[in-house]
């Protein structure tokens, strides 16, 4: 309530007549006070709903949000998140950029319309997308509880096979861990991105409250006072910014699509590489992140005695130095390739 009370006071101060404002300004003789007053005036002109430069402030906020969202997209491409999630987030950025261009080209949106439009996109980035990641992980992970319960009744306590991870599909487990880890805060960059996106969403919510308070204050004013005060004209944003937003939406989609296409083309020869980073022109190497080659039930005695040698496959996928996890079952690897020494982020093998 104190927050909205301050908003009402600021709005009431903005309704002072020019004569009163000049009397207030004449009382400040210090140059520091004058500079502070000018800075405050410019800030109010930018952030106030009645300010003449409000639309420029909205453009600045949009550029700030797009910068954070593109950084998140680059992280998703580098991690190697599922293609559906990456394309979905890319489409979200493109639509948000196009929405910013439409607001500039039309230029007739009210303060409430501008704030609500920005709040919807911030809501998706801060809350909806992480929820969609969890939903995607939930529906793409299958586990047969009945079969696992049967094995628990047969196998002795302490047996290695009593672990649920043994019966789960390694690819599905890797998918779940990879997508779920993308929501965790593991570095200062992740921390700044998460805090920045959530603060932007909170700021949009505060602006919605400010708009509602301002609308209520205008309705409470007398009709005569409303007539004597001419509405302030909003300065339009140059249309070159709209061209920038349109070009940005196209470039983001092209870069993400090209990175995914190139990485799929390089890694399609290695079905054992279940997850890889999406990069544009990575020197012809497959930037493999997780290598899984598992044969739980060999069909013949020959396959059991003489498993497939995977030395060349591991060597080829370790050249990029991006390998994080290596899982082999019923496969022959008599010695580790020297290329694995370059995989500094290898965490499990």
Work out the percent of the chain whose per-residue pLDDT is above 90.
Answer: 15
Query: What is the pLDDT at residue 340?
Result: 86
Mean pLDDT of the chain: 78
What mean pLDDT comes out for the span 104-129?
81
Q: Which pLDDT band holds residue 234 (cuts at 50, 70, 90)?
A: low
Query: What is the pLDDT at residue 20?
Result: 46
- Res. 182: pLDDT tops 70: yes
Query: What is the pLDDT at residue 37?
Result: 67
Higher pLDDT, 198 or 329: 198
Query: What is the pLDDT at residue 237?
Result: 74
Q: Phi first, then psi: what are they for 64, rounded to 5°?
A: -60, -45
Query: What is the pLDDT at residue 95?
Result: 92
Query: What is the pLDDT at residue 28?
Result: 45
Q: Which pLDDT band holds residue 27 (cuts at 50, 70, 90)?
A: very low
Nearest CA among 295, 287, 290, 237 for reference residue 267? 287
| Cβ atoms 28, 35 nearer than 8 A | no
Nearest CA among 287, 348, 347 for reference residue 321? 287
Higher pLDDT, 26 or 329: 329
Q: Which pLDDT band holds residue 229 (cuts at 50, 70, 90)?
A: low
Query: What is the pLDDT at residue 212?
Result: 75
What mean pLDDT comes out for the span 322-349?
84
Q: Which pLDDT band holds residue 24 (cuts at 50, 70, 90)?
A: very low
Query: What is the pLDDT at residue 17?
Result: 45
Neighbouring residues of 200: CB distance < 8 A, sequence distance ≥ 6: 61, 64, 65, 68, 122, 125, 126
The pTM is what? 0.79
- Res. 344: pLDDT tops 70: yes
Contacts by 188-194 with C-beta closer than 8 Å and gap 24+?
A: 189/71, 189/75, 190/75, 193/68, 193/71, 193/72, 193/75
- Res. 112: pLDDT tops 80: no
* Domain parsing of the chain, residue ranges: 1-41, 53-267, 269-349
Q: Which pLDDT band holds residue 19 (cuts at 50, 70, 90)?
A: very low
- Res. 150: pLDDT tops 50: yes
Query: What is the pLDDT at residue 252?
Result: 95
Query: Per residue in 306-316, pLDDT tens?
Result: 888 888 888 88
Sign of CA dihedral 172, 174, 175, 179: positive
Half-sphere exposure (CA, 13 Å, Cβ side) for 17?
A: 6
Half-sphere exposure (CA, 13 Å, Cβ side) for 149?
A: 3
Query: Per residue in 256-300, pLDDT tens?
Result: 999 999 999 898 888 888 888 898 876 778 898 988 888 777 777
| Cβ atoms 5, 35 nearer than 8 A | no
Neighbouring residues of 13: CB distance < 8 A, sequence distance ≥ 6: none
Q: Which residues of 70-102 are buried (b: 16+ CB within 10 A; e: fewer)?
A: bbbbeebbebbbbeebbebbbebbbebbbbbbe
H or E stretch including 289?
A: strand 288-294
């Amino acid at each position: 309530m104190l927050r909205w009370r301050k908003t009402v006071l600021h709005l009431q101060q903005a309704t002072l007549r020019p004569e009163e404002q000049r009397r207030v300004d004449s009382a400040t003789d210090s140059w520091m006070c004058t500079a502070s007053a000018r800075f405050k005036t410019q800030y109010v002109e930018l952030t106030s709903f009645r300010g003449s430069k409000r639309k420029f402030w909205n453009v600045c906020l949009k550029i700030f949000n797009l910068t954070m969202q593109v950084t998140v997209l680059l992280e998703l491409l580098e991690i190697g998140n599922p293609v559906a999630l990456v394309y979905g987030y890319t489409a979200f950025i493109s639509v948000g950029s196009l929405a910013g261009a439409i607001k500039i080209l039309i230029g007739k949106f009210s303060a409430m319309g501008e704030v609500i439009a920005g709040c919807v996109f911030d809501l998706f980035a801060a809350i909806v997308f992480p929820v969609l990641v969890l939903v995607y992980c939930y529906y793409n992970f299958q586990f047969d509880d009945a079969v696992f319960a049967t094995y628990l009744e047969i196998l002795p306590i302490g047996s290695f096979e009593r672990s649920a991870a043994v019966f789960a599909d390694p690819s599905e487990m890797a998918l779940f861990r990879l997508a779920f880890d993308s929501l965790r805060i593991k570095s200062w960059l992740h921390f700044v991105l998460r805090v920045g996106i959530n603060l932007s969403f909170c700021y949009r919510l505060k602006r919605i409250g400010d708009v509602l308070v301002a609308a209520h204050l205008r309705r409470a004013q007398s009709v005569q006072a409303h007539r004597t005060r001419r509405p302030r004209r909003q300065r339009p944003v140059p249309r070159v910014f709209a061209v920038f937003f349109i070009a940005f939406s196209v470039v983001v989609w092209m870069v993400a699509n090209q990175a995914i296409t190139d990485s799929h083309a390089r890694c399609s020869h290695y079905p054992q590489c279940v997850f890889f980073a999406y990069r544009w022109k990575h020197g012809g190497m497959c930037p493999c992140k997780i290598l899984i080659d598992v044969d739980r039930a060999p069909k013949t005695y020959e396959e059991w005695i003489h498993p497939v040698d995977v030395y060349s496959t591991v060597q080829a996928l370790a050249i990029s130095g991006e390998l994080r996890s290596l899982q082999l079952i019923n496969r022959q690897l008599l010695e580790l390739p020297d290329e694995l020494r370059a995989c500094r982020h290898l965490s499990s093998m």
